[in-house]
């Protein structure tokens, strides 16, 4: 079997188009221009690339982009003061503080300081609690939503009864993606570094979501034939010359021979993350303005 390739780039482009259409409608009908503030502390090269891409795509969708670049030695108090300012700014509907933060800053304290209504990353405890309660008003982390949208497309919007294995239990990916799949009535197993016999668990799964951060850990012979594989991992390996080579958490060439469908790295989950961030910002803006959002 050769797996179908799940084209995250195309899915993300389609989602960005829907977002742009909705933004144009909101501006026309309600004089509402959704605004996203992205805060970057320090000069981590990968974070700089993410922040640049987020700003560009926000503007392309017709939204307002507010970028705040702070020095690596910024104090926690100064960052909290900026977050408070953004919480009070009516032109800002979404706030994203790029993680990781430098060691002098307590990430959880910063996340808790963000107005939950503007928490478009979905990391505030009120939003994670709302997601766990199945509350449709939760703002849900972007990468997990991206995974879910790709899966819904594969299963014609009906995931009920599928055996799903989530490898990884982080607050950013593993736990929220497991919550979303549970809401879709999948039978969900969450694996982590202490899980016994991961290959055996994998062989039972109709859906495998790998969010580990270990290059090509999931092998082809771990998979059930026909399984749908969502590879969240982004691992940089030394490539030709200066250029890093990106690989996922799944051994793509092997997995492709066994799976029914698989996301590539790059070009799978990655592009969906920013598109879902734009979507969350529009949803948040509509709620703050008290107008109905027409995004599905």
Structure tokens at 27: 């501006």
Catalytic residue among 98, 175, 179, 249: 98
98 labelled catalytic: yes
Task: Find the helix packing angle between 142-154 and 269-289, rounded to 10°.
Answer: 110
Q: Using CB under 6 A, pick the residue from 191, 227, 230, 278 that binds ligand NAP.
A: 191
Catalytic residue among 119, 121, 231, 249: 121
Phi, psi of 11, deg, nearest 5: -65, -40
Residue number with CB closer to ligand NAP (116 or 233)? 233
Residue number with CB closer to ligand NAP (18 or 189)? 189
Please give the Cα distance from 22 to 283 (Å, whole number).
Answer: 10
Q: How many residues bind ligand NAP (CB under 6 A)?
A: 25
Does residue 233 bind ligand NAP (CB under 6 A)?
A: yes
- Other beta carbons within 10 angstroms of residue 170's beta carbon come to 16
Per CB under 6 A, the segment of 123-131, 150-158, 188-196, 284-292 that binds ligand NAP is 188-196
Does residue 188 bind ligand NAP (CB under 6 A)?
A: no
Please give the Cα distance from 14 to 8 (Å, whole number).
Answer: 10
- Helix/strand/coil for 115: coil
243 labelled catalytic: no
Of residues 201-230, those binding ligand NAP (CB under 6 A):
211-214
54 labelled catalytic: yes
- Other beta carbons within 10 angstroms of residue 88's beta carbon come to 9
The closest alpha carbon to 147, from 11, 288, 283, belongs to 11
Contacts of 48 (CB under 8 A, 6+ apart): 40
Does residue 269 bind ligand NAP (CB under 6 A)?
A: yes
Catalytic residue ranges:
54, 98, 121
Chain contacts with ligand NAP (rule: CB under 6 A):
143, 167-170, 172-174, 191-195, 198, 211-214, 232-235, 269-270, 273
């Amino acid at each position: 079997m050769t797996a179908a390739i799940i084209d995250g780039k195309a899915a993300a482009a389609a989602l960005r188009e829907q977002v742009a259409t909705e933004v144009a409608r909101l501006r026309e009908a309600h004089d509402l221009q959704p605004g996203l503030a992205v805060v970057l502390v320090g000069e981590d090269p990968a974070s700089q690339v993410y922040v640049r891409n987020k700003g560009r795509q926000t503007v392309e969708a017709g939204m307002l982009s507010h970028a705040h670049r702070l020095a690596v030695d910024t104090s926690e108090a100064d960052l909290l003061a900026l977050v408070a300012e953004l919480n009070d700014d009516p032109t800002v509907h979404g706030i994203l503080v790029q993680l990781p933060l430098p060691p002098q800053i307590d990430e959880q304290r910063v996340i808790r300081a963000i107005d939950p209504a503007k928490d478009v990353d979905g990391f505030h405890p009120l939003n994670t609690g709302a997601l766990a309660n199945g509350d449709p008003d939760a703002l849900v982390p972007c990468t997990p939503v991206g995974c879910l949208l790709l899966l819904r497309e594969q299963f014609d919007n009906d995931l009920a009864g599928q055996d799903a294995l989530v490898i990884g239990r982080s607050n950013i990916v593993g736990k929220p993606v497991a919550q979303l799949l549970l809401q879709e009535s999948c039978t969900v197993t969450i694996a982590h570094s202490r899980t016994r016999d991961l290959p055996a668990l994998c062989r039972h799964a109709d859906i495998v979501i790998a969010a580990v951060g270990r290059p090509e850990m999931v092998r082809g012979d771990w998979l059930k034939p026909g399984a749908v594989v969502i590879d969240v991992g982004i691992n940089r390996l030394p490539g030709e010359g200066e250029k890093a080579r990106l690989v996922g958490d799944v051994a793509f060439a092997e997995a492709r021979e066994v799976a029914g469908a698989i996301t590539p790295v790059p070009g799978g989950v990655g592009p969906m993350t920013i598109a879902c961030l734009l979507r969350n910002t529009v949803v948040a803006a509509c709620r703050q303005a008290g107008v109905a959002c027409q995004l599905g």
